[in-house]
Amino acid sequence: MTIPTSLKLLSEHACFGGLQRFYEHHSSSIGLPMRFSVFLPAQATAIAHVPALIFLAGLTCNEETFMTKAGAQRRAAELGIALIAPDTSPRGAGIANESDTWDFGLAASFYLDATEAPWSTHYRMETYLTQELIAVIGEHFAIDTQRLGLFGHSMGGHGALTIALRHAGLFKSLSAFAPICAPTQCPWGKKAFTGYLGTDQQGWLQHDATALMSAQKIAPYPDGILIDQGLADKFLEAQLLPHLFEAACQSIGQPLTLNRHAGYDHGYYFISTFINDHLDHHAYILGSNP
């Protein structure tokens, strides 16, 4: 495949018969260069476009983390599914104190469009993901953007759930690992939302997966949502609150599989253990053709 001139190829690696690539491009919505990674299985050709999964990584991560740690490419190659992982925030915004803490600012965008200065100039991740990135992958890769799934981990799990609920029909399948399910009710979310969105807590609810699900009239994902949660996760009780999202799903009849795993923590050993279950979940709904 010819490398598009509008994308800068940073590296390319043969992987399970396909290609693992890392790119940089100028983002008009962010106003800065953005990076993302793509795994293209062998089934992705000019005459056979494949479905794709977008993975949103968690706090402190970047576009490399999922691709190097999750072990997802082997099963994705078998299923004929592409994988895309964007960076977790803009880089180079030059905001004072942007990297002072690990849970706000750099690598901690919470995948929303900030409304508060100075963050609102560049921290426009929701627009980037739902408009620009999807347009880029649809234009330049053998990917069927009508068959997209969304999943993520921790802060990225929050992003996956909220973005999928806020943009009805854009993503056909949905899952998460240890997501932040009710950010308006946990320290991570309160800190991020105050900084990015201001002090009007009513507005925060538009970026809270539990609140968004509770407001649905019918089940938005009738084929089901999959969540895996480790019970040895040190963030479970104070930050993640999956039981609240579970109750919201039950209240509106949304099918949810919430697997609770004894002994598993918050990291990528946990994710790599159950990644194939998530790929299979998405493949079934998206109708992949191995």
| Residues 278/228, Cβ–Cβ less than 8 Å | yes
- What single-letter amino acid sits at 269? Y
Sequence-ordered strand ranges (E) for 162-241: 173-177, 225-230
- Is 154 among the catalytic positions? yes
Which is the catalytic residue, given 113, 208, 228, 233? 233
Sequence-ordered strand ranges (E) for the chain: 8-15, 18-27, 32-40, 50-56, 82-86, 143-153, 173-177, 225-230, 256-261
118 cis-preceded (ω within 30 degrees of 0): yes
Q: What is the DSSP letter of 237?
A: I
Which is the catalytic residue, given 27, 154, 173, 288? 154
- Is 233 among the catalytic positions? yes
| Residues 235/204, Cβ–Cβ less than 8 Å | no
| Residues 55/85, Cβ–Cβ less than 8 Å | yes
- Is 266 among the catalytic positions? yes
Q: How many CB atoms lie within 10 A of CB 247?
A: 13
Which is the catalytic residue, given 122, 153, 207, 266? 266
* Residues designated as active site: 154, 233, 266
